[in-house]
A and B are shown apart, each in its own frame.
Chain A
Amino acid sequence: MSVLNRREFLKASAALMAGATFGGASALLSQSNLQNIGKPNILIFVFDAMSARHLSLYGYERETTPNLKKFAERAFVYHNHYSGGNFTTTGTASMLTGLNPWTHRALNYRGMVDRQLTGRNLFQLMGKEYTRLAFTQNLWADILLSQFESDIDIHLPCDSYSHFIHSYIQPDDLPSDRRMAYYVFQDFANLRVDDPRAFPGSLLIASGDLVRALGPNRKHISTEYPRGLPTNYDYAYENATVLDGIDKLIKNSLAESEPYLAYFHLWSPHEPYNARKDFTGIFMEDLPLPAKPRHPFSGGNHPEKALREYRREYDELIADLDAEFGRFLLDLEQSRVLQNSYVIVTSDHGEMFERGEVGHATALMYAPVTHIPLLIAAPGQVSRSDFHSVTSNVDLLPTILEIAGKEIPEWIEGSILPGFGGNEDSARSIFPMMGKDNAAFQPIRHATFALIKGEYELLYYTGYPGHDDQFELYHLEQDPQELQNLFSKDITTASSMKEELLEAIDTANRNFQLR
């Protein structure tokens, strides 16, 4: 079991030494240091692929999140919060840059933010006044963090706190070239155990990885995990170990480096949905959900029974994660860490189990895959505030800057969230999109766009070979299951939203070509 690896140990030691140095010299704190006292710490927890539609916190029938519900009792709770995209790269990039996907251009699987825009990120804007730490278990999110490497003080390797590493060589083995190391190793040289169609570029490395994969540990079976240990396909891990590691980090290393901004992006509840045995089988009762016909743009063709089974396993993993996170939060609270810390809980995108599709990163942009949780607890907050207007994860960056008392640059496309100075705007339009097959260097012609405004959601599929462009319109409040396509029924709403969306896409493409 790896608790601290080499790089992490070195960085943590450096931080501790620096802390000790400054601690000894506290009597000589400069004026600027004195001004820093009182600046809140900011802890961001991103749970990968956590759909708001599956959280009892937001009214889901299964009791998946009793601990988050408890946490929400003293937090700002956003009920209609949406990701900029429906998979990690796009959603995370929107959150970290405050830009819509058509601007930041991290559109593709394992894509990057436009190289000209890498200076526009959360860590850069927080400035050196804050100690900026970032850790993700998601390698695609780590590519983005590697792009922002020069603005991050402590960037932990993805395999921190993990149990078993599938490949011998990892991006962190090239610390000076970490951004490209992902493409060299994970994307090219290494064997992909989870994807046999991937063509490993290095025979020797792939053979070594394959021997390792065939070894006795390959299935990661544990009596605690009937479906196997949670894994991101590169590392196997346990949420308890990961959260314990983060807990120690916050209480030890970071405590010496206040104020800090810490970004923790955990893999769970992303598939595979491997919950602990205590949570396996806890949701055996069937939910009264309507069967939805397979969508022509669906990449999968799972039968209804399989969809329900996947949904049950996903819900079990959320419940497992919620229990661990509840324990973790309680510990932080008892350690008084939360007294001067904002805690933000959110996700990068959702997950769906309908219309033949399981997972995310699909051409479908229905609410389960874009609707994500957002809770923000301020230091000392004792009551709950609920916000029902539509918000986007591009709003998180300006809100954090507002919390930290930083200037908000004009180029940010998000707005300050209500509760932190922003208004509840019922006419707000947000534009999640999925353009994974569109070249990042070209105008966007092949994608699925969503326009969410008030209670309505317009979906627009364009550029799919063999299909005409297609629109769908849903009333999310009256029809939360998105079954009644109103596009040809509510002509007034449909045409005004269609016009707005097409105009926004045209403007985005024009601006892109002008750059």
Chain B
Amino acid sequence: MRARLPEFQSIVQVYAVIAVMFAGWTIIAFLWKLSGWLLLLNLGEIFIVFAYAMVTNFIESLTILTMLLAGCVVLPASSLRDDFVVRGTILSIGLIGSLMVFVGSQMQFGVERGFLLLIAPLLVLLGMAWVLQRASQFQGVRSLVIGFSDRVVIFLLILAPVFLVTSAYVIFRNVS
């Protein structure tokens, strides 16, 4: 089983991409709403919302990572595991990006144009599939993806402790 999983360093790099994308969205949403909350919530209460938001990010990012790792276990090694950093990063960006476009379209157009809301995320997914297919042929794409995932690892030095501390805090609030 363990042999079917990618190397730890590769997992960390891909996880960093996932976590940064989720946290980036959440932090922008948080800042978007902060001015409204300042009217009615005190700083402690705003921190509680932030803590829950970070725990949600933690769960979201682990969910996507688990899906990718499950893919490594189930699929032939050459399709994902052997080139996990590149393919995992492209898949993460494609999947999370399509969710961003999906939700962003609703924010732009509402839910009434249901069919249109699906087009943009589908295009993102098709683009991801195309890049995924071509990634092995274009060294430039590979370098870009590897460079990106390598650089965002530094954000894990912030996000990982934040995820752990806020998880402990949220568990404490709900158990005590």
Give the B-binding residues of A (Cβ under 8 A).
107-112, 115, 174, 176-177, 180, 183-184, 187-189, 191, 193, 196-207, 210, 213-214, 218, 437-441
Contact = CB atoms under 8 A, between A and B. Distances in A.
A112 B96 CA distance: 35
Contact of A203 (B52, B103, B110, B173): B103
B33 A187 contact: yes
Given A201-B30, A438-B39, 20 more contacts: A108-B39, A112-B40, A174-B174, A183-B48, A187-B49, A188-B52, A189-B53, A196-B107, A199-B28, A200-B103, A201-B53, A202-B56, A203-B60, A203-B96, A203-B99, A213-B111, A439-B38, A439-B39, A439-B40, A440-B40
Contacts of B176: 176
A188 B41 CA distance: 13
Q: Does more than half of chain B's interface fall in helix, strand or loop, or is it mixed? A: helix
Residue of B39, B63, B99, B117 with highest tally of chain A CB at under 10 A: B39
B37 interface: yes
A350 B103 CA distance: 35
Given A110-B40, A177-B174, A201-B29, A184 B63 contact: no
Nearest to B107: A196
Contacts of B41: 112, 183
Contact of A214 (B37, B49, B57, B114): B114
Contacts of B139: none
Given A184-B52, A193-B111, A204 B39 contact: no
B53 A202 contact: yes
Contacts of B36: 109
Contacts of A206: 103, 106
A196 B175 CA distance: 34
Contacts of A439: 38-40
Q: Does more than half of chain A's interface fall in helix, strand or loop, or is it mixed? A: loop
B137 interface: no
Nearest 8 Cβ contacts at the A-B interface: A201-B29, A184-B52, A108-B40, A111-B40, A199-B29, A214-B114, A199-B32, A196-B110
B42 interface: yes
Contact of A441 (B42, B48, B57, B173): B42
B22 to A, nearest CB: 6
A177 B173 CA distance: 7
Contacts of B103: 191, 200, 203, 206-207, 210
16 contacts: A109-B36, A112-B40, A176-B176, A177-B48, A184-B49, A189-B53, A197-B107, A200-B29, A201-B25, A201-B56, A203-B103, A204-B99, A210-B106, A210-B117, A213-B111, A440-B39
Contacts of B148: none
A512 to B, nearest CB: 15
B40 A188 contact: no
Contact of B106 (A191, A201, A441): A191
Residue of A110, A198, A210 with highest tally of chain B CB at under 10 A: A210
A206 B29 CA distance: 12
A202 B45 contact: no
B162 interface: no
A112 B45 CA distance: 11
B109 interface: yes
A117 to B, nearest CB: 14
Contacts of B45: 180, 183
B54 to A, nearest CB: 10
B60 A202 contact: yes
B117 A214 contact: yes
A276 B50 CA distance: 42
Interface string B9-51: 0000000000000100110111011001111111001001100
Contacts of B110: 196
B152 interface: no
Contact of B49 (A188, A196, A213): A188
Contacts of B108: 196
B39 A437 contact: yes
Given A202-B53, A203-B99, A218 B111 contact: yes
A112 B49 CA distance: 15
A196 B39 contact: no
Nearest to B59: A204
Contacts of B114: 214, 218
B67 to A, nearest CB: 11
A448 to B, nearest CB: 16
B39 A180 contact: no
Contact of A207 (B99, B109, B174): B99
B3 to A, nearest CB: 30
Contacts of B96: 203
A112 B99 CA distance: 33
Contacts of B22: 203
B100 interface: yes
Contacts of B99: 203-204, 207
Contact of B53 (A188, A197, A437): A188
B39 A115 contact: no
